[in-house]
Amino acid sequence: METEKRIKERLGVETAVVAMGGHAFIRKDEKGSIEDHEKNAAEICGRIMSLIERNYNVVVTHGNGPQVGNLLLKNEMTKEELVSMPLDVLVAETEGSLGYILQQAMLNQLRRRNINRYVVTVISQVLIDKGDPAFRNPSKPIGPFLTKEEAEKRRDTLGWQIIDDSGRGWRRVVPSPRPVKIIQRHTIRDSARAGHIVIACGGGGIPVINNANNDYQGVEAVIDKDLTASILAADIDAELLIILTDVENVFLNYGKPDQQPLYAVTVDMLEKFIEEGHFAPGSMGPKVGAVLEFLKKGGRRALITCPERLEEALAGRAGSHFVGRV
Ligand code: ADP
Ligand code: MG
């Protein structure tokens, strides 16, 4: 089989999972037009080429916060005229649309460089536990910011659970259960090992449970994309997990006068820093949590940096590097 031949040819080639945040598609002060999406995707795919040029197998995963938020709003605005779709379907829609945008940007970068690699997007289901405590305590704000009155109206008419999101406005909240495993992990791994660039688990993946009939069934929840990236990297036996965000380094005492960038960190050091509370829960917390989980499951290396520093970081001259127990 062609795939098996390619996998044999690429034996020993390392696989990297690259996870990127919302900035990959929409920058501060942008509206998120298709032109914005294409420009930003081209930029980040250009950066990812430094992994391709180093001959890594590459799996890319990405967030979908603003995009799924828009779909939720559209759903709601047209609910009198059109049938609305549940959140799991909307996540699938963003996996498709953002997958297309990334796929096209990636192909264009490869063509410019005359590199003969293929790109594929996998609509990815992620298994969660139906008994996950997150279902009793929905905590993930999604969709647009609303006034208190608007939010309460939607709570009463649509059955939403709502919260005051850090004083910035009112939002819908949904459960954010932990990812257990990636249903498409074999396909993703085999494609990556054959050298194809795989885009998978967009938006943290589509949350599905095993229902009473032992069937898979989508649920209205969202999975943290950083935690999914960690499970994905472990499930496909990746050597390297790279988390791209909008800071060049992870810091101790972040935002304080004595803040200190981290350069090389072992698992033991990372556990200690997490215990000391250096990483904010909704932002850096899940990223370092994802790194820790990946390394504890046998992952070799992880890197957190910004796209602009990726190339230098791969050469060991930038970014925060994390190593597993040897
Ligand atoms: P993404 O969209 O990539 O998930 P987030 O905003 O969720 O981005 O997370 C990145 C942010 O985490 C940074 O912009 C920074 O403000 C924040 N942050 C919190 N704690 C730290 C820390 N200890 N070191 C660096 N950044 C931190
Ligand atoms: Mg985040």
What is the pLDDT confidence band of residue 19, given thresholds at 50, 70 and 90? very high
pLDDT digits (tens, 9 = 90+) for 116-145: 999 999 999 999 999 999 999 998 888 777
The pLDDT assigned to 259 comes to 97
Q: Is any ligand 1 atom within 6 A of the Cβ of residue 281?
A: no
End residue of a domain, out of 238, 269, 285: 238
pLDDT digits (tens, 9 = 90+) for 36-68: 999 999 999 999 999 999 999 999 999 999 899
Closest atom of ligand 1 relative to the 246 alpha carbon: 14
pLDDT digits (tens, 9 = 90+) for 85-117: 999 999 999 999 999 999 999 999 999 999 999
Closest atom of ligand 1 relative to the 282 alpha carbon: 7
Residues 196 and 104 in one domain: yes
Q: Is any ligand 1 atom within 6 A of the Cβ of residue 204?
A: no
The pLDDT assigned to 142 comes to 85
Residues 114 and 81 in one domain: yes
Closest atom of ligand 1 relative to the 245 alpha carbon: 3
The three-state DSSP-derived secondary structure of 144-210 is: EEECHHHHHHHHHHHCCEEEECCCCCEEEEECCCCCCEECCHHHHHHHHHCCCEEEECHHHCEEEEE
The three-state DSSP-derived secondary structure of 67-108 is: HHHHHHHHHHHCCCCCCCCCHHHHHHHHHHHHHHHHHHHHHH
The pLDDT assigned to 277 comes to 96
Residues 131 and 226 in one domain: yes
Distance between Cα 20 and ligand 2 center (Å): 9
Task: Give domain status of residue 157, yes or no.
Answer: no
Residues 202 and 287 in one domain: no
Task: Give domain status of residue 315, yes or no.
Answer: yes
Task: Give domain status of residue 164, yes or no.
Answer: no
Of 155, 231, 222, 139, the closest CA to residue 189 belongs to: 231
Dist. CA 204–CA 208, nearest whole Å: 12
Residues 218 and 266 in one domain: no
| Proportion of the chain above pLDDT 70, given as a percent | 100
The residue to mutate among 246, 259, 304, 320, having the most atoms of ligand 1 within 8 angstroms of its beta carbon, is: 246
The domain tally of the chain equals 2
Q: Is any ligand 1 atom within 6 A of the Cβ of residue 63?
A: yes
Bridge partners of 243, per DSSP, are 19, 304
What is the pLDDT confidence band of residue 268, given thresholds at 50, 70 and 90? very high
Q: Is any ligand 1 atom within 6 A of the Cβ of residue 283?
A: yes
Q: Is any ligand 1 atom within 6 A of the Cβ of residue 259?
A: no
Residues 209 and 298 in one domain: no
End residue of a domain, out of 187, 221, 238: 238
Residues 55 and 129 in one domain: yes
Q: Give the domain extent around 188.
A: 2-137+175-238
The pLDDT assigned to 317 comes to 97
Q: Is any ligand 1 atom within 6 A of the Cβ of residue 273?
A: no
Task: Give domain status of residue 167, yes or no.
Answer: no
Ligand 1 atom 10 nearest Cα: 283
End residue of a domain, out of 238, 255, 285: 238
Residues 253 and 304 in one domain: yes
Which ligand number lies closest to the CA of residue 279?
Answer: 1
The pLDDT assigned to 40 comes to 97
> In this structure, what CATH number is given to the domain that contains residue 34?
3.40.1160.10
Dist. CA 242–CA 18, nearest whole Å: 5
Residues 62 and 198 in one domain: yes
Task: Give domain status of residue 274, yes or no.
Answer: yes
Collapsed DSSP state (helix, strand, coil) of residue 259: coil
The pLDDT assigned to 141 comes to 85
Distance between Cα 68 and ligand 1 center (Å): 21
The pLDDT assigned to 186 comes to 98
Dist. CA 41–CA 106, nearest whole Å: 8
Of 137, 133, 283, 129, the closest CA to residue 207 belongs to: 129
Q: Is any ligand 1 atom within 6 A of the Cβ of residue 284?
A: yes
Closest atom of ligand 1 relative to the 65 alpha carbon: 2
Against a cut of 0.85, is the pTM above it?
yes
Residues 311 and 230 in one domain: no
Q: Is any ligand 1 atom within 6 A of the Cβ of residue 321?
A: no
* pLDDT value at 302 more than 80: yes
Residues 268 and 229 in one domain: no
Give the residue-averaged pLDDT of 289-317.
97
Bridge partners of 208, per DSSP, are 127, 218
Ligand 1 atom 2 nearest Cα: 21
Task: Give domain status of residue 61, yes or no.
Answer: yes
Distance between Cα 21 and ligand 1 center (Å): 10
Q: Is any ligand 1 atom within 6 A of the Cβ of residue 250?
A: yes
